[in-house]
Amino acid sequence: MLGRTLDSTSFSPRAGGVGVDLMADYAAAQRLLCEVRLASLNYWTAVVRCVDGDLHRQGCGLEDTDFCHRVYSGVVALEKDLENS
């Protein structure tokens, strides 16, 4: 949504410019989420689910109808945001 990668931010420094630093990436994502939230609360909610692991928690899956409904509702809201932008 912001049109840039974590690597392109000053929030995600790489030791020696290479490799993966999960903590730096997570911190960068958290900082960028502030900007995303200002642009679209629905998009922010979708990204937070991915970044903070809501999709990967124990007991969350397609067999959990409440979880599926929340995700589906979020996707519909996100689609409406994208249509209106």
DSSP state of 19: S
Q: What is the share, in percent, of the chain residues with pLDDT greater than 90? A: 0
| Residue 25 and residue 63 in one domain | no
Domain that holds residue 53: 42-85
Please list the alpha-helical segments (H only) found in 20-61.
Answer: 22-39, 41-51
Using CB atoms within 10 A of its CB, is residue 79 exposed (0-12), middle (13-18) or buried (19+)? Answer: exposed
Domain count, the chain: 2
Q: Which residue has the higher pLDDT, 13 or 25?
A: 25
pLDDT for residue 34 is more than 80:
yes
pLDDT for residue 80 is more than 60:
yes
| Residue 3 and residue 28 in one domain | yes
Chain mean pLDDT for the chain: 75
| Residue 30 and residue 52 in one domain | no
CB neighbourhood size of 84 (10 A): 7
